[in-house]
Amino acid sequence: MDWPTFVLVVSFVVLLYFNVPIAFSIAIATLLTLVSIGGTAILEVIAFKMATGVDSFALLAIPFFILAGLLMGRGGIARRLIDFANVLVGRFTGGLSYVNIITCMLFGAISGSAVAAVSSVGGFMIPLMNKEGYDRDFNASVSITAATTGLLIPPSNVMIVYSLATGGAVSVAAIFLAGFLPGILMGLGLMVVSGIISFRRNYGKGTTFGLKESVVKFFVALPPLFLVVLVLGGILAGFFTATEASAIAVIYAFILSVFVYREVKIKDIPQILLQAGITTAVVFMLIGASIAMSHVMALQNIPQNISSSLLSLTGNKILILLLINILLLIVGTFMDMTPAVLIFTPIFLPVVKALGVHPIHFGIILIMNLCIGICTPPVGSCLFVGCGIAETTITKVIRHLLPFFLAMIIVLFITTYLPDLSMIVPRLFGFN
């Protein structure tokens, strides 16, 4: 390891250890590395790379999807999706845990945010499950892990970031399509664990609806569900790009929340816009800093060196993918998804491509690993939000999370070693 690489790694780890925010840790480590390399106009290089890093038409989709998700979250969408899920699975033993998972899958797919799914769906379902006799920490575990499925089922902001990180080698539409089956499989895995635990603990059933009421609740849930059809259908049909689709999603969410359901008032719009702006600023700061770090890593040939080192260890595809999964699971525990995607895609993508792994397939592997990471300490955003909503502690919840982690890891390895699971849907639409 040469001196600049040593400075980059050590400074970054030390800053994280002292709880410096991840975006600043990345930016400061990048600055220190450039200082160690030498040269002039160091600050200008960082500023230029950060500015050009976020200067992308594709990235405009992120603030629009964030705004659409906030409008949906405030517009009563979660409650209607919960009623719809209750119609489907509420009658079974442990039915409310199934309702929680299915609603998170639907709402996460609509909002594109795991944290939004935890807060919106968990905020309603956790107190309801508590009231029905389900264990509080079990309820939190269900909401925390189920929320991640929405990052695999499109539209998803992290998928847009991955498309950017590949330099356009993977289109947004292709990675969107690839996430459907793995996301559904992840949800089914969590439902299996919930079912086993509910059966052993004799958790009760949810509400049983009559035929007429079931039909009514189905049609009430159709408008928000149609958003996924509108976004993906429009992109695949060539009517608009992913960025244009995100703007259409905002218009649709605005009409639904303000004029149809009337749960968002006009006076609430400035506060929602402010919240969307703050969230966007955080995301774009992460993106800019991560791209600057990626530039420094490229200067030091770090991706090429890691690729050569891994391939020199073994040419066995199974072992290399196993090693990459382990490394990404570790990375996910201490790094946010956005910088992790931007930093580690250039490192591992050349390795897996040399082994014959399709970039679309690798994108799903990468995102699935990081989905597990946001449910784990010390920096798991879903973990903190879920524990806050459930009014419990991380220490108490971790024990209940372990069976769900096991299910998620099993699905991860199924997805890793069965590439058709990720590739079959994109190939149906001509992405090869």
pLDDT reported for residue 214: 77
Tens of pLDDT, residue by residue over 305-314, are: 887 887 787 7
> In terms of Cα–Cα distance, which of 65, 120, 62 is closest to 248?
65
Q: In the predicted model, what is the mean pLDDT of residues 273-292? A: 87
Q: In the predicted model, what is the mean pLDDT of residues 171-197? A: 92
Q: In the predicted model, what is the mean pLDDT of residues 87-112? A: 79
pLDDT reported for residue 207: 63
Asked if the model's pLDDT at residue 111 lies above 80, the reply is no
Structure tokens at 289: 């800093």
Rounded to 5 degrees, φ, ψ at 376 are: -120, 150
Helix spans in 166-316 (H) = 172-178, 180-201, 211-237, 242-254, 269-299, 302-313
Query: How much is the pTM?
Result: 0.86
Task: Count how many residues are written for the chain.
Answer: 432
pLDDT reported for residue 409: 95
In this prediction, residue 429 has a pLDDT band, given cuts at 50, 70 and 90, of confident
Range scoring the smallest mean pLDDT among 122-136, 358-372, 387-401: 122-136
Reduced to 3 states (helix: H, G, I; strand: E, B; else coil), residue 4 is: helix
- What's 238's DSSP letter? T
With a CB cutoff of 8 Å and minimum separation 6, the contacts of 219 are: none
Return the exposure string of 293-316: e unless at least 16 CB atoms fall within 10 Å of the residue's CB, then b.
bbbbbeebebbeebbeebeeeeee
Sign of CA dihedral 238, 243, 249, 251: negative
pLDDT reported for residue 326: 92
